[in-house]
Amino acid sequence: MTCLLSEHFKAIIESVGENINRDGLKDTPKRAANAFQYLTKGYNQKLSEVINGAVFDSSISEMVVIKDIELYSLCEHHLLPFIGKCHIGYLPKNKVLGLSKFARIVDMFARRLQIQENMTCEIADAIMEAVDAKGVAVVVEAQHMCMMMRGVEKQNSSMTTSVMRGLMKENYTTREEFLQFIRR
């Protein structure tokens, strides 16, 4: 796969008028292919493998909140990065998830060609599936290079998406409690 991607990157570089044999570009197609494979490694991951058995019995029934999980993704429309953070809250129902698994779930979906709206839903649904939670809330805040580097070129723009599932959606007080946590 790397070899094929490398050839495509070589063609792209040449098509913009660059000399692929100049010192700075000789290994660029290979490096770009490796980077692109890394940035899209989420396609090769499955939720069960990411969780790797880190679901534990627990009697806790109060909200658990994980804030400021950094994320890096590629916009599926322009293949440009969007960079931000994800906040997750959930209401356990006899099961909790190992803390690092939240970041791994975020990365699994961020490391795909994405739009932020879909990624936010995918993260929420994966957590619901992983622990059969009573409710899940996910908020993603990101800056999109496709808005900043091209097109309208708005440097200070950002996008916020939220998805609520179960009691986080149905119960206003619970939802508001989560939103207060992430505002701190």
Q: Known catalytic residues?
A: 75-78, 116, 144, 146
Instruction: Please provide residue 107's backbone torsions phi and psi, each rounded to the nearest 5 degrees.
Output: -60, -40
Collapse the DSSP code of 168 into the 3-class scheme (helix H, G, I; strand E, B; otherwise coil) and give the result: helix
Tell me how far apart the alpha carbons of residues 66 and 99 are, in angstroms, rounded to a whole number: 8
Residue with tokens 């490398």: 6
Tell me how far apart the alpha carbons of residues 140 and 85 are, in angstroms, rounded to a whole number: 6
Task: Identify the H or E element spanning 23.
Answer: none
Residue 119 sits at the vertex; the CA angle it makes with 114 and 122, to the nearest 5 degrees, is 130
Tally the residues of the chain.
184
Can you list the positions of beta strands (E) in 55-156?
55-57, 64-75, 81-91, 95-97, 113-114, 135-144
